[in-house]
Amino acid sequence: MSVSPTSPFPPDMSATLPHDLIWRLRVDQYHAMIRAGILTPDDPVELLEGWLVYKMPKNPPHRVATRLTQTALERVVPANWYVDAQAPITLEDSEPEPDLVVVRGTPRLYLDRHPGPAELALVIEVADASLLRDRGAKKRIYARAGIAVYWLINLPDRRCEVYTDPSGVAGEPDYRQRQDYGPTDAVPLIIDGQQVGAVSVADLLP
């Protein structure tokens, strides 16, 4: 499906939309399809900027990096926060399923909804084949939502890209700061504006 000249997105955003668009939906419509069983957990889709798109397939290094990162984070995340993996978060026009998130509270607080921006200290994507999407649409979505910290674990280049200072709902949402960490570095874990620990990049990479 191509974006028509009457697309609701500004020209600069239309140019960076995923190429594998399926259907245009609001978040409440997406939830209704899930409740009705039209979409199931086995369907490889997620809602990005109002478009239902295919999720990128995950190869073994991606799976291993996700598990390694979850283990490393769980060693340092403080009380009243927890680490979740490949679970939905609800944003204004998107419901992505990041590889990892650090969420306020406990899982039982989210029995009737998914976490939203105010409850997320950190969102992480593990990128290999998904690198362009994770640096493009995903980063833009998280910046627009005001999520304070976004880590992109870049498997091809073996580094962790840390994005901070989100612009929010600006004309071209983005993070104003980026810091790259290599295999010999430790990435600070920032929660609510405070460093609570650090994790070695080597511990995140397969």
Q: What is the dihedral of CA 25, 31, 35, 40, to 10 degrees?
A: 70
pLDDT at 165: 97
Name the residue with tokens 């009457």. 6
- Measured distance CA(162)–CA(151) in Å, rounded: 5
Entry pTM: 0.82
Q: Is the dihedral angle over the CA atoms 136, 139, 8, 170 positive or is it negative?
A: negative
Contacts of residue 108, defined as CB under 8 A and 6 or more positions apart, other chains included, come to none
Distance, CA of 195 to chain centre: 21
The pLDDT score that the predictor gives to residue 6 is: 36
Residues 200, 69: contact at Cβ < 8 Å? no
So what's the pLDDT on residue 16? 52
| pLDDT tens-place values along the chain, 206 residues long | 333 333 333 334 444 555 555 567 888 887 788 788 887 878 778 888 878 887 777 789 999 999 999 999 999 999 999 999 999 999 988 899 999 999 999 999 999 999 999 999 999 999 998 899 999 999 999 999 999 999 999 999 999 999 999 999 878 899 999 999 999 999 999 999 999 999 999 999 99
Among 85, 159, 92, smallest CA distance to 122 is for 85
Q: What confidence score (pLDDT) does residue 27 get? A: 85
| Structural domains of the chain ordered from first start | 11-54 (no CATH), 60-203 (3.90.1570.10)
Please report which helix (H) or strand (E) contains residue 66, including its range: helix 60-74
